[in-house]
Amino acid sequence: MARVCPHIALLTANETQAQALEKLLQKYITLIHVRSLQELDESLGASQFDALFCDWSDRNGTWKDALETVREQHPDLPVILLSRIGGESEWLEVIEMGAFDLLVPPYDESYVLSLIEHAAASRLARQWHPLPVTPVAVA
């Protein structure tokens, strides 16, 4: 049986971070490093990804802009934000903006793999059980 390998997009201009994540996860996932929002858009149009790691900030925008773009075009794609800081207020902001989670270094292999598994399972569950368009009344 062929091994199923998760496909994860990584949006970052930080080459060091991209290489570190690729080295950490290369046995388990296919990591596609994209360096711009345009490249991300092209990659998302050409391939199906299980999740997106996002550490984005340049003259054209921030992670919030990237998240908004992804949400508009691929609303079921789990986005995991990468940040150098990760306190409670940062985590709440990320979740409230619609991201799946916040990941801060140092990156622990087992934790990152668990996070990817949960993100992929969440996406699959949303495809199986779409959220209702109208609120359900609770008695």
Which pLDDT score is estimated for 93?
A: 92
In what side-by-side order are the strands of the sheet with 51-55? 30-34, 7-12, 51-55, 79-82, 101-103
CATH superfamily name and code, 7-128: Response regulator (3.40.50.2300)
The model's pTM = 0.85
Residue 27: band (very low, low, confident or very high) from pLDDT cuts 50, 70, 90: very high
What DSSP line would sit under 36-95, residue for residue? SHHHHHHHHHHS--SEEEEE-EETTEEHHHHHHHHHHH-TTS-EEEE-S---HHHHHHHH
Average pLDDT of the residues of the chain: 87
